[in-house]
Each structure stands twice: as structure tokens, then as C-alpha cells.
Amino acid sequence: MESLSHAFKERSVHALKDETLQVALHRAKDGFAVKRAKAVEGLPEFDVLRDRAVEIKNHTLENLDHYLERYEDAVQRNGGKVHWASSAEDACRIVVEICRAAGAKMITKGKSMVGEEVGINVALEGAGFEVVETDLGEYIIQLAHEPPSHIIVPAVHKTRGQIADLFHENHQKYGLTRKLSEVPEMVNEARQVLRDKYLQADVGITGANFLIAETGTSVIVTNEGNGDLTCSLPKVHIVTSSIEKVLPTAEDATTLLRLLARSATGQDLTTYTTFSTGPKRPDDTDGPEEYHVVLVDNGRSTMLADQFREMLRCIRCGACMNHCPVYGAIGGHAYGWVYPGPMGSVLTPLSVGLKEAGNLPNACTLNGHCAEVCPVRIPLPDLLRTLRHREYQLKLGLKPLRWGLAAWVWFTAHPRIYRLGTRVQARMLALLAGRKGRFTRMPLAGGWFKGGRDLPAPQGQTFMAVWQRRQKERRQ
């Protein structure tokens, strides 16, 4: 997918002013956090399981080449085929070729974030195929021609009124005459329309939450059952998966499954956990005739080399964005690429470059909530700080910011001048603020004071001065 992350600032401002979006975000924010907290409370072993999960992922990443080769062996033994894609272009080319060879016309898709990342829909539509997303959220945003705004609930930014309009516009060809208003009838409408698509599709494409090396199995979790209809009804099943999804055994996957649903939606386990191993067997009466797995690197192998290897533990639960005040204020689209929120602010600059997405790591309060809820203990704030550091070293940030930082570095390296400077500054500001003790405007502050915000003024003495005085008093 093409990145719009360079316009992060403009897009954030736009998002803050979008009243419909703000309503939708407000609804999502508390719901997710409360549900997760309840689910975690119900499993006393949650924290120990997190340690196990870290151990499992670290071990597998350390031996990633081995487990991927074992995985490939097992897929082949079961009659499937593994394709290796080092870039997004490779992945798209491989998928298009498989669909062409199958003589496909219509393709159904389950939700796949790596599919979004490599831009598979654009590639397939460009090659003349009809592509239908089957996850309800993905289907809604496909009708709206928008990217997902959340990795678990892609259409979380849409209100039911907007969805009713989309169905009204797009479903008249299927016989829908009136505008729907209730959630059940909308879900039902999508169910009816998509049911036919499943049955007509020639190829079904799904992602993978995990791959199991021992058995050559791809695992997907869905609540709707769309992933299952996508991978079991068409005659060809293609799995798109990034390389870091592989795990040694089903037992390892089970440990991660116990964390995934609780962290994502607050469920104990997702409704459908589906383990696919190869195409239909000779005497099976249903299932696909071909089973392909496309393993996508697209920059991940580079991340193995430094501290960003920790990011490859990510199981895409979305807990970090559900607990992020910045995501909660601006939603997912402002981030401008596939992955929003804290995990997206780490992945996006690594994938599309710091020049394009350097602002994302800066849009963080470093409150640490994301790291606290991460089921695989990714130190997201540390990684974001490293990216800020890199941005500074590459001289990419805004010039005033860089100059300011350079000045700050000089001052802190000269403590006497620093103390003198802050002393003078604190007194001046206290004088300027006068009796009110607070500022309601200031030069160069932009729109910061808009809407009645004010800023308390320093009270005349610096912290260092107050501290020294108190220490002296105590000694006397």
C-alpha cells in the first residue's frame, strides 16, 4: 500500500475536526480497554503466559530459517506449495500468477494485514480479477474505498448511518430498495450478499495468525466464520503470511492463542480457530484442490539484526492502539499507512522510511501504556525513542526542532550557564504573567491557546533553587 504518512500532521488535524470520527473513536476507546481488563482478570496465569510467549517468540526468531524450512517440508508433504516473496512486488506477482493459473474470475478474501501491506487487492484488480473482502469490517471499507483504520476492527471509524448509506448505494444491484437502520438487518444484508460470493469464488485468500512448523499448518482466527468459508469453498486456497508468524508446534500456538483474543477483543478465545493443512485429501468430499502459502519478508529480515527484532514478536492484537491516547484522539487513518497506533508508529518508519514517516514516532506521549498491555512485552516506547534518535542523527526532523534540541544539549552540558539561564527565565516569565499567574496567549504558540486553554506561569524560582534552599534548611 502507498504511504501517506508524510502528511501525518495535516491528517491528524483533519481527524480531530471530524465530528463523526470523534463519536466513533469515543465509543471504541473505553469498550476495548474495559473488555480486555475483564478478560485478563479472569485468567490468573495471564502474566506468566506472557513470559512464556516472549520465550516462544524469541526462540523461534533466533532460529527462524530452520523453522521456516521445516514448515515448508511439512506443507509439501501434505500436498501444498510454499512460495517465498522477498518484497511486496514479489508477493503480488506470485498471487496473481496462482490466480491466473487457476483460471479465476472472482476471488474472496479473509482479513490479512500483510495482504493490505503488500497491496494485494490493487494488484489483483489491476490484473482483471473481481476481489471481494468477506470480513464484515473489511467489506464495509472496501465499499467505501478506504484502508482499514484498526487492525482488528477495520471499520471502527464508521457509524451505522454511514454504513447504511454504503449498503444503500452499493446493494441496489442485489435488490436492496430501502435504507437500513438497525445493526442486525445490516449484518444480515451483508450475510446474504456475501453468501453468493463465497459459493461463486474460484480462489479464496486468507492471512495467517500463526504457522506451525511441525505440521505445515496455517492458523486463522475469526469470529464471523468468513475465513472458513473463504478457505474451504473455492477450489484454490492461498495463504498470505509474513515470515515471523511461524512457531514450532501447535502447543506453542495455543499459548499465544490464550493471549491473543483476550488482548484483542476481551474474548477468552475467538469463535473460530481454524488449522489448515494442505489441500483436500483424496477421499474428502469438500475443501480446496490447491493449497498455496506465500511467505512474505518485505523488510522483516532486516529487523532481525538489531533491537527491532523485538517488534517481530507482535501478534497483531491491537491492544497497544486500544490503549493509546494519540490513537484514541485521531484514529487509524491519520497514520497514513497500514498499521496505526504504537505498533504502526514503529513498523511504518521501518517499512516506508523515516523520511516519509518520521513524524509517527514523535506523535507519542511515552506514557508507556502500550508496553504495559502488550501480550508479548514489546518495549514499544523504547523502540519509538530509538526511531526519534535515528531521525535526529539522519538530520530529518523539522529544522526549528533540531536547533532547539541542539541548543538544549549545549545548555545541559554547561550546568552553570543552564542554571543562570533558567533562573533569569523563570523570573521574567513570572513578571510577565503578572498577578494572574497564568498566560492566555504567547507569541509563536499557534493555536495552542484556542478554546480557553491557559498555561500556568513559573512562580519565580527554579526547581534547583528551591531544592537547594530546602536542603540547606534541613541541615540547619
Of residues 153 through 212, those in contact with other proteins by CB under 8 A are 153-156, 158-160, 163, 183-184, 186-188, 190-191, 194-195, 198-199
Grid cell at residue 184:
442486525
- Of 187, 253, 266, nearest in space to 220 by CA: 253
Euclidean distance between CA atoms 128 and 191, whole angstroms: 25
Q: Report the residue number, 286 or 473, with the smaller CB distance to other proteins.
A: 286
Taking the complex as a whole, the smallest distance from the CB of residue 228 to other proteins amounts, in Å, to 5
Q: Candidates 26-34, 169-177, 363-371, 433-441: pick the segment binding other proteins (CB under 8 A).
A: 26-34
Grid cell at residue 197:
460470493
Grid cell at residue 73:
517440508
Contact in structure between 340 and 327 (CB atoms under 8 Å): yes
CB-hemisphere CA count at 13 Å for 400? 1
Regarding 40 and contact with other proteins (CB under 8 A), the answer is no
- Candidates 83, 109, 292, 388; binder of other proteins (CB under 8 A) is 83
Regarding 229 and contact with other proteins (CB under 8 A), the answer is yes
Which residues, 49 to 78, sit near other proteins by CB under 8 A? 49, 52, 55-57, 59-60, 62-70, 72, 74, 77-78
- Candidates 171, 280, 377, 427; binder of other proteins (CB under 8 A) is 280
Regarding 84 and contact with other proteins (CB under 8 A), the answer is yes
- Candidates 2, 173, 285, 395; binder of other proteins (CB under 8 A) is 285
- Candidates 22, 301, 362, 461; binder of other proteins (CB under 8 A) is 301
Which residues, 230 to 269, sit near other proteins by CB under 8 A? 232-233, 243, 247-252, 254-255, 257-258, 265, 267-269
Euclidean distance between CA atoms 74 and 239, whole angstroms: 15
Q: Give the H or E element holding residue 221.
A: strand 217-222
Taking the complex as a whole, the smallest distance from the CB of residue 247 to other proteins amounts, in Å, to 7
Euclidean distance between CA atoms 254 and 259, whole angstroms: 9
- Candidates 1, 4, 21, 24; binder of other proteins (CB under 8 A) is 24
- Of 289, 277, 291, nearest in space to 235 by CA: 289
Q: Candidates 48-56, 326-334, 349-357, 430-438: pick the segment binding other proteins (CB under 8 A).
A: 48-56
Grid cell at residue 442:
504567547
Encode 325-338 in three state secondary structure. Answer: HHHHHHCCHHHCCC
Which residues, 413 to 452, sit near other proteins by CB under 8 A? none
Euclidean distance between CA atoms 369 and 354, whole angstroms: 24
- Candidates 273, 348, 351, 359; binder of other proteins (CB under 8 A) is 273
Residues in the chain: 476
Euclidean distance between CA atoms 341 and 321, whole angstroms: 5
- Candidates 16, 168, 287, 386; binder of other proteins (CB under 8 A) is 287
Q: Report the residue number, 181 or 365, with the smaller CB distance to other proteins.
A: 181
Which residues, 101 to 160, sit near other proteins by CB under 8 A? 134-137, 140, 153-156, 158-160
Q: Give the H or E element holding residue 205.
A: strand 203-206
Taking the complex as a whole, the smallest distance from the CB of residue 421 to other proteins amounts, in Å, to 46
Q: Cα–Cα–Cα angle for 137, 237, 269, nearest 5°?
A: 50
- Of 56, 36, 39, 53, nearest in space to 375 by CA: 53
Under 8 Å CB-to-CB from 416, ≥6 apart: which residues? none
Grid cell at residue 257:
492463542
Taking the complex as a whole, the smallest distance from the CB of residue 387 to other proteins amounts, in Å, to 18
Taking the complex as a whole, the smallest distance from the CB of residue 354 to other proteins amounts, in Å, to 19
Q: Report the residue number, 172 or 271, with the smaller CB distance to other proteins.
A: 271
Taking the complex as a whole, the smallest distance from the CB of residue 284 to other proteins amounts, in Å, to 6
Taking the complex as a whole, the smallest distance from the CB of residue 187 to other proteins amounts, in Å, to 5
- Candidates 2, 17, 177, 286; binder of other proteins (CB under 8 A) is 286
Taking the complex as a whole, the smallest distance from the CB of residue 86 to other proteins amounts, in Å, to 5
Taking the complex as a whole, the smallest distance from the CB of residue 214 to other proteins amounts, in Å, to 9
Q: Radius of gyration of the chain from Cα atoms?
A: 26
Taking the complex as a whole, the smallest distance from the CB of residue 35 to other proteins amounts, in Å, to 9
Euclidean distance between CA atoms 61 and 142, whole angstroms: 34
Regarding 274 and contact with other proteins (CB under 8 A), the answer is yes
Taking the complex as a whole, the smallest distance from the CB of residue 34 to other proteins amounts, in Å, to 11
Q: Report the residue number, 67 or 335, with the smaller CB distance to other proteins.
A: 67
Q: Please identify which residue in the block is written with the cell numbers 448511518.
A: 161
- Candidates 116, 117, 133, 228; binder of other proteins (CB under 8 A) is 228
**If 0-12 CB within 10 Å is exposed, 13-18 middle and 19+ buried, where does residue 403 land?**
exposed
| DSSP secondary structure string for all residues of 8-46 | HHHHHHHHHH-HHHHHHHHHHHHHHHHHHHHHHHT-TTH
Taking the complex as a whole, the smallest distance from the CB of residue 160 to other proteins amounts, in Å, to 5
Grid cell at residue 324:
493509546
Which residues, 359 to 378, sit near other proteins by CB under 8 A? none
Regarding 223 and contact with other proteins (CB under 8 A), the answer is yes
Q: Please identify which residue in the block is written with the cell numbers 524560582.
A: 461
Size of the site for other proteins (CB under 8 A): 108
